[in-house]
Amino acid sequence: MSGLGGQVDPHTHSTASDGTQPPAEVVRRAAELGLGAVALTDHDTTAGWSEALAAGQRYGIRVHPGIEVSAQVPRPDRPVPVHLLVHRVPADSPALVALLRATVEGRHRRMDRMAQLVAEDTGWTTEQVWAHVPPGATPGRPHIADALVAAGVVRDRDEAFAGPLRRGGRYHLHHPVPDAADVLRAAEASGGVVALAHPLTGTRGRNVTREEVEELVELGLAGLEVRHREHDAEERRRAAGWAESLGLVPLGSSDYHGTGKPNLLAENTTPLEVWEEFLRR
């Protein structure tokens, strides 16, 4: 890749959640590629921030600590799941800490239930399943996928998510998540700025509608992830149209997870001047 010095990858994951590389390695790789900046946005946690920021100083690249918060937009029939990229917030924000604590506790309870199911099916102990969650990481379905690979049930994470971890699959269990409105309020109280991640990736549940994005804009949403591996050309055009008409900053991101997903670091990026516009909102 070339010409990445004026670009930022604003959506990446590490072993602090469901990525396969430590935060420092994600940052090192971003510097190696020549990116101007990189953001670490692990799921529902700030655990990787200190390591990532230290690595940024070591490798000479700007690091923007963020969080990908799991949330929902309430609807009469069924809530719509959304992922919100929260940036420009302090790790010790009271509003943010309280919100994340409740979410992570729900993730742990769900992991206990999923581990029990895997143990029943494989003859493993729940401790053996939990061993696939790195210490201090936010537990999630990718860690169950890793356990299933180790147990010989599936070949890789992709097969796990196409099979027993797919929506309706045996191990696809839900955990309580906050309403998107509460996340946006917590971010505002913390001086943060928020973008909606991959709004049109139907594999994650029902897509959000334009009307639902409008509701989030009224609550303070500032950016929209337009360029993402799981958005095809038509979905990118639609998302770009929403961003333009609703006054949202359009972002491009890799959603990098190391070897946990096919997404390549910096395969989609955002110009630094656009990123700075987002951070000024």
CATH code at position 169? 1.10.150.650
Domain edge (last residue) among 191, 218, 238: 191
**Domain annotation covers residue 244:** yes
At 171-193, the pLDDT tens digits run: 999 888 999 999 999 999 999 99
Please report whether residue 181 resides in a domain. yes
Structural domains in the chain (count):
2
Asked whether residue 148 carries a pLDDT value surpassing 70, the answer given is yes
Model confidence over 30-46: pLDDT tens digits? 999 999 999 999 999 99
* pLDDT band (50, 70, 90) for residue 203: low
Which of 61-70, 92-101, 136-145 has the highest mean predicted lDDT (pLDDT)?
61-70
Residue 205 confidence (pLDDT) above 80: no
Distance CA 228, CA 256 (A): 10
For residue 167, what are the domain limits?
89-191
For residue 254, pLDDT over 60 is answered with: yes
In a domain, 213, yes or no: yes
Q: Are residues 105 and 219 in the same domain?
A: no
Q: Which of 277, 87, 256 is nearest to 184 (CA)?
A: 87
Is 18 part of any domain? yes
Weakest-pLDDT range from 1-5, 49-53, 185-189, 236-240: 1-5
Task: Kindly state the average pLDDT of the residues 76-97.
Answer: 93
> Residues 225, 230, 236, 238: is their CA dihedral positive or negative?
negative
- Verify that 99 and 173 share a domain, yes or no: yes
pLDDT tens for each residue of 107-142: 999 999 999 999 999 999 999 999 999 998 999 999
Paired sense of beta strands 80-87 and 193-196, if any: antiparallel
Per-residue confidence (pLDDT) for residue 204, from 0 to 100: 58
**Average of per-residue pLDDT values in the chain:** 95
- Shared domain for 158 and 184, answered yes or no, is yes
In a domain, 28, yes or no: yes
Tell me: do 113 and 166 sit in the same domain. yes
pLDDT band at 2 (very low <50, low <70, confident <90, very high): low
Is the same domain home to 95 and 171?
yes
pLDDT band at 1 (very low <50, low <70, confident <90, very high): very low
- The pLDDT of 98-109, averaged and rounded, is 92
Q: What is the pLDDT, as a whole number, of residue 77?
A: 87
Confirm whether 2 is domain-assigned.
no
Q: Which of 191, 216, 243 is the last residue of a domain?
A: 191
Task: Classify residue 149: in a domain, yes or no.
Answer: yes
206 has pLDDT over 80: no
Q: Are residues 257 and 225 in the same domain?
A: yes
Could you tell me which residues come within 8 angstroms of residue 219 by beta carbon, excluding any fewer than 6 positions away?
180, 181, 184, 185
**Do residues 253 and 218 share a domain?**
yes
Any idea which residue has 């604003």 for tokens?
Answer: 10
Is residue 103 included in any domain, yes or no? yes
| Residue 202 pLDDT level (bands cut at 50, 70, 90) | low
